[in-house]
């Protein structure tokens, strides 16, 4: 297929573009920033640029991964988020419809499921988050604009039959976290694979799977996150004593973590459940918490990207 990939100069795009090419797709990268995989440098909020991209490359399918995301909140005003994430998505949807594109994959975020109360960890047990979670009350402009863009995708399926798959990945960025500062970066990322992280490679592969499945599914929304080892029944214990739950599931985790000077989380306040992405979309995640334990056990490299030295004991 001839695939228009927005965000082709970004972290995900740099993994996804070559993977798509390896699968035989003809990729046109579209990004406001130049990059190895970006053929068109321009903004998705510029309708004439978008139209030109479609007509020049005779596009069959769109993966819309570009846009402003959470780290951009400090750099852009609300208007910028609306222009790029909402108007930009509408431009791409309308151009898709006008040119007969039959599938559209939108990279959304689990962040839009997090209300301020969840962020403040105001509940007595961990919150179990799957695609049925409601009401959605995003706590910042990033989440609000991603939710609006999701709804535009849904509307384009309803009104025009454009097959749209919305993907809500949890974290896959390599940077240090902006909140918890008490653990070293790799330790924290390893912990997050229990309930709120996936590798960028798994995220990219899931996008390709969505591209294949879109015509069969019509419109659907999927959380992408490494498979959690926890069950819904664990939510009380996770909030109260997460370490005990983890030790029950992975008896040598404490020892393996201690060898590296790492700590298991004392309390977990939310869990993303990606089981629908596995059972309905057919996503296979290569990396989960148990792979990390295997790497620690066998003194191998950690199976996830990190932007700082693993030496943070």
Number of H helices, E strands in the chain: 12, 9
Per the DSSP assignment, residues forming a β-bridge with 41 are: 31
Q: Which one of residues 45, 87, 191, 221 is an interface residue with ligand NAD (CB under 6 A)? A: 45
Per the DSSP assignment, residues forming a β-bridge with 165 are: 105, 220
Pick the closest to residue 204 from 37, 39, 33, 40 (CA basis).
Answer: 37
To which H or E segment does residue 5 belong? strand 2-6
| 44 versus 61: smaller Cβ distance to ligand NAD | 44
Rounded to the nearest whole angstrom, what is the least distance from the CB of residue 309 to ligand NAD in the complex? 20
Stretch binding ligand NAD (CB under 6 A), from 37-45, 230-238, 260-268, 290-298? 37-45
Rounded to the nearest whole angstrom, what is the least distance from the CB of residue 125 to ligand NAD in the complex? 24
What are the DSSP calls for 248-266, one per residue?
Answer: HH-TTHHHHHHHTT----S
Q: How many residues does the chain have?
A: 313
Verify binding: residue 171, ligand NAD, rule CB under 6 A: yes
The C-alpha atoms of residue 146 and residue 85 are separated, in whole angstroms, by 6
In whole angstroms, how far apart are CA 49 and each of 98, 228, 237?
Answer: 15, 41, 52
Rounded to the nearest whole angstrom, what is the least distance from the CB of residue 200 to ligand NAD in the complex? 8
| 234 versus 273: smaller Cβ distance to ligand NAD | 273
Stretch binding ligand NAD (CB under 6 A), from 11-19, 126-134, 275-283, 298-306? 11-19
CB 28 within 8 A of CB 59: yes
Verify binding: residue 207, ligand NAD, rule CB under 6 A: no
> 3-class SS at 106?
strand
Q: Which one of residues 5, 11, 131, 210 is an interface residue with ligand NAD (CB under 6 A)? A: 11
> 3-class SS at 25?
coil
Rounded to the nearest whole angstrom, what is the least distance from the CB of residue 298 to ligand NAD in the complex? 27
Stretch binding ligand NAD (CB under 6 A), from 131-139, 168-176, 247-255, 268-276? 168-176
Query: Which residue number places its CB atom closest to ligand NAD?
Result: 10
97-116: contacts with ligand NAD (CB under 6 A): 107, 109
| 157 versus 173: smaller Cβ distance to ligand NAD | 173
Verify binding: residue 143, ligand NAD, rule CB under 6 A: no
Sequence-distant (6+) residues with CB within 8 A of 141 are: 73, 78, 81, 82
Stretch binding ligand NAD (CB under 6 A), from 4-12, 17-25, 229-237, 270-278? 4-12
61-90: contacts with ligand NAD (CB under 6 A): 65-69, 84, 88
User: Alpha-carbon torsion 245, 247, 250, 253, what sign?
Assistant: positive
Q: State the greatest distance between any 2 C-alpha atoms of the chain, in Å, as a whole number.
A: 58
Note the residues at the interface with ligand NAD (CB under 6 A): 6-7, 9-13, 31-33, 43-45, 65-69, 84, 88, 107, 109, 169, 171-173
């Amino acid at each position: 297929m001839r695939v228009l990939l927005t965000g082709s100069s970004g972290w995900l795009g740099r993994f996804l573009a070559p993977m798509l090419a390896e699968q035989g797709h003809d990729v046109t990268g579209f990004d406001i920033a130049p990059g190895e995989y970006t053929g068109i440098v321009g903004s998705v909020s510029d309708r004439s640029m978008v139209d030109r991209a479609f007509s020049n490359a005779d596009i069959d399918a769109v993966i819309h991964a570009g846009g402003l995301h959470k780290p951009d909140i400090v750099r852009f005003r609300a208007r910028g988020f609306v222009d790029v994430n909402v108007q930009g998505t509408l431009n791409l949807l309308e151009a898709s419809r006008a040119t007969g594109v039959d599938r559209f994959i939108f990279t959304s975020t689990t962040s839009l499921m997090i209300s301020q109360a969840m962020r403040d960890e105001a509940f007595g047990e961990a919150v179990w988050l799957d695609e049925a979670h409601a009401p959605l009350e995003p706590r910042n402009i990033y989440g609000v604009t991603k939710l609006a863009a999701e709804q535009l995708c849904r509307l384009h399926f309803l009104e025009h039959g454009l097959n749209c798959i919305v993907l809500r990945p949890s974290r896959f960025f390599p940077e240090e976290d902006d909140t918890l500062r008490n653990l070293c970066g790799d330790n924290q990322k390893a912990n997050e694979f229990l309930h709120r992280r996936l590798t960028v490679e798994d995220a990219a592969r899931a996008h390709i799977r969505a591209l294949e499945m879109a015509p069969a599914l019509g419109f659907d929304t999927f959380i992408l996150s490494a498979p959690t080892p926890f069950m819904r029944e664990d939510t009380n214990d996770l909030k109260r004593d997460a370490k005990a739950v983890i030790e029950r599931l992975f008896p040598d985790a404490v020892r393996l973590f201690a060898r590296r000077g790492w700590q298991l989380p004392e309390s977990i306040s939310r869990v993303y459940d990606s089981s629908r992405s596995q059972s309905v979309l057919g996503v296979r995640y290569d990396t989960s918490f148990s792979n990390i334990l295997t790497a620690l056990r066998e003194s191998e490299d950690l199976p996830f990207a990190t932007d700082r030295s693993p030496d943070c004991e």
